[in-house]
Structure 1
Amino acid sequence: MRIAKVVCTATMMAMAAGLAACASGPTIRADADPTVNLSSYKTFGFYEKVSTDRSAYTTLISTRLKEATRTELTKRGYTFTETNPQLLANFNLNIENRQDVQSTPSAGVGVGMGGYYGYRSGMYGVWGGYPQDVETVHYQVGTLAIDLVDAAKKQLVWQGTAEGRINKKAIENPGPAIDSVVGEIFAKYPVPAPGAPAN
């Protein structure tokens, strides 16, 4: 059981870091309650058990996400407190298995555009049923969500998400990658950090 928990935590760390390690970078989205002035809040904290704590203890990924989020909110003038914070932060990570089906001209009748039949390129196509090599590519997409909740009203007031294909390479030092993706999410926050451009 202990080994399974460690493996799960390592997978979540790799996923969060993998979001920042994508070649094209993750897709970042953010949305806010239009009736709420986020600059009116002064203090923040974290849920006692955030959604990334799926076990009976705080995971390493939760600790990393809290540290990065605390840094971003502090830069924006908010004060961290454990006593009656106005905003509460929560996190969620999700992994989804996906697949793409790709077809290319059969290697037996010419290798792509550079093979024997490359002379056709741009001049004319082939008939339906022309031999094709079909390949199914399996991969994983990770989504990290950061929620900010009005503690008094128990209402979501802002959410930022990052979605990207998970890098399968071993991630030796996930800390800076997690800091990076959290920073990219908060770049969409309506209250900018000093020196940062307003959204």
Structure 2
Amino acid sequence: MPTVKEPTARVAPAPGGIPMRLHPRLAPLLFAGLFMACASINVSSNYDPSAVQEIDAYKSYAWAAQPDGGDKRVYNSIMGNQVMQAADAVLQARGYKKVDASENPDFLVGWHGSVQDKLEADTVNNYYGYPYSPAWDPFWGGPVVAAAPETYVREYEEGTILLDVVDGKSKQLVWRGKAQSEVNGNASAEKQQKKVTQAVDKILERFPPKAGKK
């Protein structure tokens, strides 16, 4: 009976056609690294359909009072300034005029945030799902043994930023945008600022709302 070699997880062949090998114990580190490097920003929004006409007529805005919260990772002057500066750049580039809250702005902008612990389970096949032929492997000439899928559980932090638009006259919430993404606690201040700016930009791509779209 042929000797069975310990199954290994496979990644795509390197340039030049030579397959690379990765031991199953290293697979969780690979996936964590790829996920962190490619972490996306998920965005959604909602609005009051009856307020679309009023929103389209908005010309000026002001910031609502800085929110208070117990999580100092979110509710601090640095984070607040980053969110407001990013939003100001987008809104003013679109022609909205920033005024003081005492000057009767057409709308008020407020923000909220949170960081929550999350768990994610990934089940992967050691051969990554693509057909494998021994002819491509110069290091292994015996029978191919397909290993059972393995599940890896990863704990991470997810950050959320909310931007609210409140009508200046009625003081009613008329639009809300939300961005969520994985938090990298080891990122530099510059990278954190860039991520906040990207999140705010993506949120405001949906403002002002278009009738029938969210």
Q: Which amino acid aligns with 1:32?
A: Y
Equivalent pairs counted in the alignment come to 157
Matches within 5 A, 1:75-154: 75-82=93-100, 83-102=103-122, 112-113=126-127, 118-120=144-146, 135-154=152-171
Instruction: Decide whether the 8 Å contact of 2:71 with 2:114 is kept in 1.
Output: no
How many angstroms does 1:136 deviate by? 3.1
- Corresponding letter in the other structure for 1:157: V
Q: Partner residue of 1:186?
A: 204
* Equivalent AA in structure 1 for residue 120 of structure 2: D
CA deviation vs aligned residue, 1:26-76 (integer Å, no higher than 9, x gap) = 111112211112121111001123356978x96111111111111111122
Deviations 1:119-146 (A, max 9, x none): 337xxxx7xxxxx866432111111110
Measured after TM superposition, the shift of residue 159 of structure 1 is: 0.9
Alignment partner of 1:120: what SS?
A: coil
Structure 1 segments unaligned to the other structure (5+ residues): 1-20, 106-111, 127-131, 193-198
Which residue in 1 is equivalent to 2:9? none
What is the CA–CA distance in structure 1 between the aligned matches of 2:124 and 2:113, rounded to whole Å? 35
CA distance in 2: counterparts of 1:163 and 1:75, whole angstroms: 24
Q: State how far apart, in whole Å, the 2-side matches of 1:185 and 1:67 are.
A: 14
RMSD: 3.3
Structure possessing the higher relative contact order (Cα contacts under 8 Å, 6 or more residues apart): 1
Report the TM-score, using the length of structure 1 for normalisation: 0.65
Look up the match of 2:174: 157
Tell whether the 8 Å contact from 2:59 to 2:96 is kept in structure 1 after alignment.
yes
Name the amino acid aligned to 2:38: A
**Aligned residues of 2:123 and 2:152 also touching (Cα < 8 A):** yes
